Amino acid sequence: MKNQSISHFRDIHVHAATVQEWSQDYSQLTAGSTESSLMQLTTARCHVFREQINQRVVQHGVAPRGKMCFAVPITVPGSIRMQGREVDDSSLFFLHGGEEFMFHMPTGMELLSITFERELFEQALAQTASAKEVSLLLRQPVIRVSTPRFAEARRRLLAMFSRALVNEELDSARELELEQAMLGELLQLMTDPACDKHQRTPSSTRSFIVEKCHRLATAEMMNVPSVDELCQRLHVSRRTVQNSFRSVAETTPLNYLRSVRLNGVRRTLMSTRASHLSIGDAAAQWGFYHLSHFAAEYQELFAELPSHTARAAITDCARA
């Protein structure tokens, strides 16, 4: 039987933890209070969710294992990078189950994600005349398709999702019908004659630089490299690093890396009890040693002091 929910959040980390089946962290990059929405629908062999967030966010995680994961952008209000590739308003996202991903989501973007059991997808693919060509396409995380065709498919997918979300009585036959209809829309997009079956879109150098800096900042939490040290490690100029962050994340490297670390502190606070870990110790784990400076930066980004952050909220949410 299906399971559906409509949720609204004021914290990006609670939002991320509520997305079923996905193991991921969201890091808020723009300053201010978060307002987001998440609508989810789960059937026997498919999970669909629609999300919108009023802040710029970088998503980092691993796609659900044993799945074939697609996403359809609904609104594209700014610079987007998926796995280092530029995205436009007629791009289909794809991830194999178990694949690590990094996705730069601009302020106010809305996205529809559709995940199928691998067996279901492969059975449907085997019945198409272009199975081999589609399999080659699925080596790419960003698949550009016909713009008019994409707009039509997006409209139909959203209509299917909306109807199913409010329909409390969805028996097994109707579940299967929904799964097949959504799967059919995506396969038609990729088998359409207007879709280039030989797409080869490499990851950009600028995206590589941002992602490498992101990983270094989160791996070396207590001794975070400076921007100059990152330049030396990557053998690139400071100007190249500056331009990369402006292009990919629409911010400076200093602000980006500080924001990612502040999000790390917030996740730590929300997943621990105050009696087990102090705010100062949590901040120090992420390289913040001046508590007053840290508190001011934390408040500027999240619109609340660290002392006002609810402790162990993510754990409680995940268990609910």
Give the amino acid at 4.
Q
Instruction: Check residue 135 and give its pLDDT.
Output: 92
User: How far is Cα 253 from Cα 75, in angstroms, rounded to an integer?
Assistant: 26
Q: Which domains does the chain have, with CATH numbers?
A: 3-191 (2.60.120.10), 205-319 (1.10.10.60)
Higher pLDDT: 172 or 310? It is 310
The pLDDT of residue 174 is 87
Q: What is the pLDDT of the chain when averaged over all its residues? A: 91
In this predicted model, what pLDDT tens digit does every residue of 208-252 receive, in sequence order?
A: 999 999 998 888 887 888 899 999 999 999 999 999 999 999 999
Q: What is the pLDDT of residue 93?
A: 95
Q: Is the pLDDT of residue 318 over 80?
A: no
Instruction: Provide the whole-model pTM.
Output: 0.91
pLDDT of 58 reads 96
| Model pLDDT for residues 6-17, shown as the tens digit of each residue | 999 999 999 999
pLDDT above 90: percentage of residues in the chain: 76
pLDDT (mean) for 177-205: 88
- Report residue 153's pLDDT band, with 50, 70 and 90 as the boundaries: very high
- The dihedral over CA atoms of 270, 276, 277, 279, expressed in degrees to the nearest 10, equals 70
Torsion-angle region of 310 (φ positive above 0: left; ψ -120 to 50: alpha; else: beta): beta
* Lowest model confidence (mean pLDDT) among 9-23, 76-90, 152-166: 76-90
Given this model, what pLDDT does residue 317 score? 45
Return the minimum-mean-pLDDT range out of 32-46, 54-68, 80-94.
Answer: 80-94
| Number of CB atoms found within 10 A of residue 240's CB | 14
Residues 190 and 13: their CA atoms lie apart, in Å, by 33
pLDDT, one tens digit per residue, over 164-182 is 998 767 778 889 999 999 9
What is the structure's pLDDT at 80? 85
Confidence of residue 319 (pLDDT cuts 50, 70, 90): very low
